[in-house]
């Protein structure tokens, strides 16, 4: 753990085994942090925050730039770690490392650009100023699916705006965060500004949300984890920012470029073995083109290359993250078939070592099936046929989630009609589901509260202070 600018290597508590999902072998041991460890980190962040806030924003940004340089210097090492502990393909892991460095640079660039306001007064001798100020101590609870990038997504906007932070990595993927903390130490970030506490969500995560010294807690995870975080934060009225689950619909119209649609939907389904909250999770395809679409889709899914990314570089998909996830996917496919869906390809575990699962297509799905309503988080793609576009839009919106959605059409009028009607935080048209750092990644309904990235994500870490000054003659 990294607390108040120092690594704590004399940990005397319990240790958690971290497994390689491709081989089921032990990667490393992670300290099982306590409430006391977490409180020490929060106290360190609180102590450091006042001086950090007084540091000019441009200087705060320079630290982020140095961290980005440190990440790039350790690109290969970090890529290998992400592959080993998360089962991510080498190409995607490398993208995550470099994107994280770019994200640090991007957020550093906001140091001179975020602003307050001067507001017009109704009084002739008064000026009204709106200042944007840091919240104070912030905390970040991370998932395992993009573990390295999510450190930057929470830490970079927090630090550049004058906040300090305590991060808790997932207990499934902690090693990359350890290297990140090493880079933080190397660049000389002031002690206490960034802290890292390993442990379980029920212990460390709970304290990061419930501690009265915390001004904001940001979590990326499941709906259940988000509900627990909100409940823990409620007694102190602590601000929460939550990115939770998704059940992204992809709507394929009759005039769509089918080759583009198939390529994009497959890419959005098998990325990180389907374990991405903004993945395409269900497909609505016009009956007029369904047969041609399905022929291309099944052929494409069967060509997806699956294997151990620690051994093979050129893969499309690795394993699921853990045995629990594998059993969940198996059960969901079995349930879909029992409810009437037709298995067209895949549907089974691959081998008996590692948590590999075949890319799977389920046809003849209906709106009320669990596979359409519940988040899958695996390489399973259910298909629903439609004949009326308005009905397809209604089906797409008929979901407790509201993170991302996608449309495939060459008709600009229909694209705009659907943009206005879809109730999701993001919509992708004629492309795969993958957001830009300068956008705003935010969900509706049970997909979350608040958001990340771009100007609006930066402002999640700011609060307003309005000052009224009335002068005298």
Query: Which residues have C-beta within 8 Å of that of residue 386, sequence separation ≥ 6?
Result: 284, 285, 286, 287, 392, 395
What is the C-alpha to C-alpha distance for residues 149 and 452, in angstroms, rounded to an integer?
Answer: 12
Query: Which residues have C-beta within 8 Å of that of residue 23, sequence separation ≥ 6?
Result: 308, 310, 353, 354
What is the C-alpha to C-alpha distance for residues 312 and 442, in angstroms, rounded to an integer?
Answer: 35
Mapping DSSP onto H, E and C, the string for the chain reads CEECCEECCCCCCCEEEEECCCCCCEEEEEECCCHHHHHHHHHHHHHHHHHHHHCCHHHHHHHHHHHHHHHHHCHHHHHHHHHHHHCCCHHHHHHHHHHHHHHHHHHHCCCCCCCCEEECCCCCCEEEEEEEEECCEEEEECCCCCHHHHHHHHHHHHHHCCCEEEEECCCCCCHHHHHHHHHHHHHCCCCCCEEECCCCHHHHHHHHHHCCCCCEEEEECCHHHHHHHHHHHHHHCCEEEEECCCCEEEEECCCCCHHHHHHHHHHHHHHHHHCCCCCEEEEEEEHHHHHHHHHHHHHHHHCCCECCCCCCCCCCECCCCCHHHHHHHHHHHHHHHHCCCEEEECCCEECCCCCEECCEEEECCCCCCHHHHCCCCCCEEEEEEECCHHHHHHHHHCCCEECEEEEECCCHHHHHHHHHHCCCCEEEECCCCCCCCCCCECCEECCEECCECHHHHHHCCEEEEEEEEECCC
User: Any catalytic annotation for residue 243?
Assistant: yes
Catalytic residue of the set 207, 243, 432, 460: 243
User: Any catalytic annotation for residue 310?
Assistant: no
What is the C-alpha to C-alpha distance for residues 134 and 115, in angstroms, rounded to an integer?
Answer: 12
Catalytic residue of the set 85, 96, 175, 277: 277
Residue 371 to residues 135, 304, 333, 368, Cα–Cα distance (Å): 40, 21, 8, 8
What is the C-alpha to C-alpha distance for residues 362 and 365, in angstroms, rounded to an integer?
Answer: 7
Rounding to the nearest 10 degrees, give the CA dihedral for residues 151, 154, 159, 163. -130
Query: Among all residues, which ones are annotated catalytic?
Result: 243, 277
């Amino acid at each position: 753990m990294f607390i108040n600018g120092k690594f704590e290597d004399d940990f005397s508590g319990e240790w958690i085994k971290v497994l390689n999902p491709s081989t089921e072998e032990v990667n490393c041991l992670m300290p099982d942090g306590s409430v006391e460890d977490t409180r020490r980190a929060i106290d360190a962040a609180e102590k450091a925050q006042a001086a950090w806030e007084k540091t000019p924003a441009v200087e705060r940004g320079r630290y982020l730039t140095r961290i980005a340089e440190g990440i790039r210097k350790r690109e290969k090492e970090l890529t290998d770690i992400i592959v080993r502990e998360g089962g991510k393909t080498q190409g995607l892991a490398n993208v995550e490392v470099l994107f994280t460095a770019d994200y640090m640079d991007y957020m550093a660039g906001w140091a001179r650009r975020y602003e307050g306001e001067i507001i017009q007064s109704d009084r002739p001798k008064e000026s009204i100023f709106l200042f944007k100020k840091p919240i104070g101590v912030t905390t970040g609870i991370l998932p395992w699916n993009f573990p390295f990038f999510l450190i930057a997504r929470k830490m970079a906007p927090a630090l550049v705006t004058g906040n300090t932070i305590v991060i808790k990595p997932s207990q499934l993927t902690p090693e990359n965060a350890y290297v990140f903390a090493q880079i933080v130490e190397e660049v000389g970030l002031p002690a206490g500004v960034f802290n890292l506490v390993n442990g379980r969500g029920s212990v460390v995560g709970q304290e990061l949300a419930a501690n009265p010294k915390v001004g904001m807690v940001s979590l990326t995870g499941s709906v259940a984890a988000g509900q627990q975080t909100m409940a823990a934060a409620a007694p102190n009225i602590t601000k929460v920012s939550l990115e939770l689950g998704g059940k992204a619909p992809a709507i394929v119209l009759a005039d769509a470029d089918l080759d583009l649609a198939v390529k994009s939907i497959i890419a959005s389904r098998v990325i990180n073995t389907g374990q991405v909250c903004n993945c395409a999770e269900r497909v609505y395809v016009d009956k007029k083109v369904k047969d041609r679409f399905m022929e291309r889709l099944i052929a494409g899914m069967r060509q997806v290359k699956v294997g151990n990314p620690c051994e093979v570089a050129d893969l499309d998909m690795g394993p699921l993250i853990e045995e629990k996830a594998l059993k969940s996917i198996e059960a969901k496919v079995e349930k879909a078939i029992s409810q009437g869906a037709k298995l067209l390809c895949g549907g089974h575990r691959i081998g008996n070592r590692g948590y590999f699962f075949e890319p799977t297509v389920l046809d003849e799905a209906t709106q009320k099936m669990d596979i359409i309503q519940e988040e899958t988080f695996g390489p399973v793609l259910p298909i629903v046929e439609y004949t009326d576009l308005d009905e397809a839009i209604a089906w797409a919106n008929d979901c407790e989630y509201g993170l991302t959605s996608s449309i495939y059409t060459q008709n600009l009028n229909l694209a705009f009609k659907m943009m206005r009607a879809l109730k999701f935080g993001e919509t992708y048209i004629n492309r795969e589901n993958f957001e830009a750092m300068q956008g705003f990644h935010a969900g509706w309904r049970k997909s979350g509260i608040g958001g990340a990235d771009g100007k609006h994500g930066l402002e999640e870490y700011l609060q307003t202070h309005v000052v009224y000054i009335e002068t005298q003659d």
